[in-house]
């Protein structure tokens, strides 16, 4: 009896696999069947990618708000 152990997938493979679900609209079940990956693993990758996008989006919004506040402060300083 041989032990297969855990398979490892590189970041590029994970991202491309998640894109099949997010961008092409394929179901997690179909992609996981086609690629021989457990559905829960693919869901975890998908959530991680979407979480990274949410963090990136939140950081962008935070930076934009800071810029607006700084701009408003400068405007008030020039009026005084």
Over residues 29-69, the pLDDT tens digits come to 999 999 999 999 999 999 998 888 877 878 888 888 888 88
Are 43 and 49 in contact by the 8 Å Cβ rule? The answer is no
Q: What is the pLDDT of residue 2?
A: 52
Domain ranges within the chain, ordered by starting residue: 11-79
- Tokens, residue 46: 């998908």
- 1 against 19, higher pLDDT: 19
Topology of the domain covering 11-79? Arc Repressor Mutant, subunit A (1.10.10)
In whole angstroms, what is the distance from residue 24 CA to residue 50 CA?
15
Looking at residue 64, the DSSP 8-state letter turns out to be H
Q: Quick check: helix, strand or coil at residue 66?
A: helix
E-strand spans in 16-73?
none
Q: Quick check: helix, strand or coil at residue 3?
A: coil
Q: What is the pTM of this model?
A: 0.63
């Amino acid at each position: 009896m041989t032990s297969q152990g855990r398979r490892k997938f590189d970041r590029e493979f994970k991202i491309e696999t998640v894109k099949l679900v997010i961008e092409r609209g394929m179901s997690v079940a179909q992609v996981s069947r086609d690629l021989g990956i457990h559905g829960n693993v693919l869901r975890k990758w998908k959530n991680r990618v979407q979480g990274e996008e949410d963090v990136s989006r939140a950081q962008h919004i935070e930076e934009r708000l800071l810029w607006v506040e700084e701009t408003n402060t400068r405007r008030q300083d020039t009026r005084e």
